[in-house]
């Protein structure tokens, strides 16, 4: 499957994370930080209102890698994230992955991973190294 990738290939989709999903994420992870749901607390922070968990936002790349490109089934090796802007519930996000490097001999693909907010600003950026399925796994 690695031969299906080309440097510069890009895949994207749009997604809204609701406050209800933020609450569900908190329940799953146990992260009930006030920054994610307490309006009064958040008014006293730089964010002014509740924000989405950073790791929730960072997990949005999984949909593309696991299910869609180049037909799903890739395995995560690494992912780093840098949080540049807050992400607020109920805002449209654009999730973008771009092929940065292909390492044929190790069956690895390195991607730039980005999430843009509804103002077109990059809110999260990072890099992922993925292991595509081998051709023999696709038979």
CATH number of the domain at 133, please.
3.10.129.10
Tens digits of residue pLDDT in 31-73: 999 999 999 999 999 999 999 999 999 999 999 999 998 888 8
Alpha-carbon span 83 to 71, nearest angstrom: 28
102 and 109 in contact (C-beta within 8 Å)? Answer: yes
Q: How many domains does the chain have?
A: 1
94 and 16 in contact (C-beta within 8 Å)? Answer: no
Share of the chain above pLDDT 70, in %: 96
Peptide bond into 70 cis (omega under 30): yes
Q: What domain range includes position 93?
A: 2-138
Tens digits of residue pLDDT in 113-123: 999 999 999 99
Instruction: Report the Cα 5 to chain-centroid distance in Å.
Output: 19
Q: Give, rounded to a whole angstrom, the gap between the first and last alpha carbons of the chain.
A: 11
pLDDT at residue 91 is higher than 90: yes
């Amino acid at each position: 499957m690695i031969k299906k990738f080309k440097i510069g290939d890009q895949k994207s989709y749009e997604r809204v994370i609701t406050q209800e999903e933020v609450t569900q994420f908190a329940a799953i992870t146990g992260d009930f930080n006030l920054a994610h749901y307490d309006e009064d607390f958040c008014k006293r922070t730089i964010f002014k209102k509740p924000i989405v968990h950073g790791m929730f936002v960072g997990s949005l790349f999984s949909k593309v890698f696991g299910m869609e490109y180049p037909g799903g089934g890739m395995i995560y090796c690494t992912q780093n994230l840098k949080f540049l802007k807050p992400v607020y519930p109920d805002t449209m996000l654009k999730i973008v992955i771009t092929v940065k490097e292909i390492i044929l001999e190790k069956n690895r693909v390195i991607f730039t991973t980005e999430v843009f907010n509804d103002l077109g600003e990059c809110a999260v950026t990072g890099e992922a190294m993925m292991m595509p399925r081998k051709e023999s796994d696709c038979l």
